Every structure is written in C-alpha cells, then in structure tokens.
Homo-oligomer: A and B are copies of this chain.
C-alpha cells in the first residue's frame, strides 16, 4: 500500500549543545521526505523539552527517556506513530537504544560507531536479520556522490585489480587537552566509558577504514597498528597508524590523528589499481582525480553529464548542477534519503530500488567494531600482523 506522506522520525539525543544530533536533523529535512515528530533529546528532561519547543514539536511527543518514547509511540495508531528511530547519543548508548527500538519494531538510523564491542554489534546484526527491519548506520562519508563514482569505477573494473590503498584522516582539534576545559565533544570522546576502547581509531579511524572498504569492495584482513596517546593524561589514543592487508593481496596504509594542528577533517583516499589510480578528498568532495598510464590526469567533477552517464549512483546522490558545490550535509542527507526510501518500500511491502539501498547498515557496523578491536589488539601485540576476526 503506497503511502503518500513524509516518513516520521523519532530522535534520541541531539539536546542543547550537541553537534551530531543537529546534523541529523538538518540532513533529514533537506529533501522533504522525513519529518521529525518525536524525540528524547537529552538525559535531562527539562533540556529535552526545551529542545522540543525550539523544534516546534508537540510537547506530548517530547519524551523524558528513549524508553518512554518507544512505549508511547508504539501505542499510537500506525498512521500516526514514528516510522523510525534515529540514535545520536554518545557511543555507549547506541547499542541499547538501537536494540530496544528494533525490538519495539521500529526501523533505525544509528550514529557510528554502532556499539562499544563487536559482540554487541553481532547481536544487533542478528536482531536486524530476525526482525526484517531497515537499519542505517551513519558512515556519512560514503554518502558523497564522488565516493560512489569511485566505487563504481572499481566495480566496473576501470581501476583494475587493486594493489594499494592509502587512506588518512588527520584532525587537530584534540592537540591540546581540550577535554579538561569542559568542552562537551572532547569530554565524551576521550572517555572510554562513553566512547569504547578506541579514541582516535574509534572516532575517525573507522571512517577511514569504512571508506577504504566501500570504494575498493575489499575487506581488510590483517592489521599492524600503532596507537599513541600524545596528550598527557588522556585515557584513549589520539593517534593511529596502521599497515593493512586487504583481500586479494592488496596492501594499505591507514593513518588518523587528532593532534595534527590545523588539520580539520582531512579524510582522503588514494586507490592504486593495475589500470588506474583514484584520489578523493573529503574537504574538496566534488572532485575525483583519475590517473591512467600515459594519459593526462582526469578531474571528474560532480554534477556533470559524463558523471551521470557513468554512475547512476553518483547522479542519484547529487542535487544541483556542477560548479554549485555540494558538501558534508548533502552527503549526510544522501544516507537519510536512501534510508527513507528503503524504509518506505518496506512499509509498502515493495522491493526497494537497489540504488536506494546504497547506505551503510548493520554489516558496516560489525566491520567497524572488528576494526577497532583488531587495531587495539594489534597495537598491544609484538607480532607484526593481527588478523581481523570474522
């Protein structure tokens, strides 16, 4: 049965001062397919209500706890209640909220990392499969159209067998002990109880690993890692350097850092295949550099007909003409819009458009936890290579 309305979102997290919750709200609004109608925005009920008012929500649907929300929304008639739950709390809450939302029968869009451990991640994986619900994981960087173009170039064998991947994610915002100033983002991200076993590796290293696996279509099989904590007194790593082995004999280098002064969000990837090399930079996301032997370097630019002609995914995940730059929020919104279309198909009992299902989900969440755990284990090991468990 076709539904002719926006999908209804219930948001957990995103209270006053939060960063990523507001990004989820903006991104989910952009294409007009999703409507925020309920939320449990903050541990503090007053702040939750304050945020609800700011968002012009019906106060009855602003809840004190996520449990209240799940219960009350479940009790609403099907046409009224939320269609899915978005989870944007600190990391330690991702697992219980996502699990309980799934158990209550809601589709879920979850911030990364999905859980604190691979055990929890696999539990979610099993639950999603069992319930047949749609699960999105916000590895937002694979939402960029030029990343999808790169992935399609690999898929179509225009890059050839992959030999080498270099992926980096340097930042500088934790180069000093920012967490000691009370800065909220810094505080929970450097606290193992809220963030899990990985600091830099968990927060941004996972994005780098996810990007590499997404574009190449190859899984990382072995890791040789060195985690370092440069800022005295910090409980988690703030720097992460890895050598990688990937399926099919490819080799890799992954380095991420939070102590690189002046670096902002410099996620970038280089993929070297037998036929061509690719290069992409998150801070200049509208360009994909393609290099082939004995040819001028090619700069593929988002929004052009030659991009659309090559990659249906790049075209679909692009909104405005070339030269009008698109950026972070649009990539984020691509995951939401694809997720929403997939949820809609599920509600309508239809098979989703395969292009709509191109967003990260529970499997990427498991991969992420395995990556973090392997890096932490490898960093403590004297052996060069630590295999990634399955």
Determine how close the nearest CB of chain B comes to the CB of A236; give it in whole angstroms.
16
Describe A's contact surface by its main secondary structure: loop
Determine how close the nearest CB of chain B comes to the CB of A162; give it in whole angstroms.
10
Do A291 and B262 touch across chains, with their CB atoms under 8 A apart? yes
Partner of A261, one of B36, B276, B382: B276
For residue A243, CB closer than 8 A to chain B, the reply is yes
Q: A285 — nearest CB in chain B belongs to which residue?
A: B325
- By a CB distance below 8 angstroms, the chain B residues around A306 are 294-296
Do A293 and B19 touch across chains, with their CB atoms under 8 A apart? no
Q: A20 — nearest CB in chain B belongs to which residue?
A: B320
For residue A328, CB closer than 8 A to chain B, the reply is yes
Total interface residues on A, CB under 8 Å, equals 92
Partner of A253, one of B241, B273, B292, B324: B241
For residue A23, CB closer than 8 A to chain B, the reply is yes
A329→B322 CA distance, assembly (Å): 13
Q: A379 — nearest CB in chain B belongs to which residue?
A: B384
For residue A348, CB closer than 8 A to chain B, the reply is no
Do B164 and A239 touch across chains, with their CB atoms under 8 A apart? yes
For residue A46, CB closer than 8 A to chain B, the reply is no
Task: Known A-B contacts: A257-B272, A261-B276. Give 20 more (CB < 8 A).
Answer: A4-B56, A25-B32, A166-B255, A175-B293, A224-B226, A239-B251, A242-B243, A259-B272, A261-B273, A261-B277, A261-B292, A282-B323, A283-B323, A296-B298, A296-B299, A296-B304, A319-B329, A320-B328, A325-B328, A382-B384
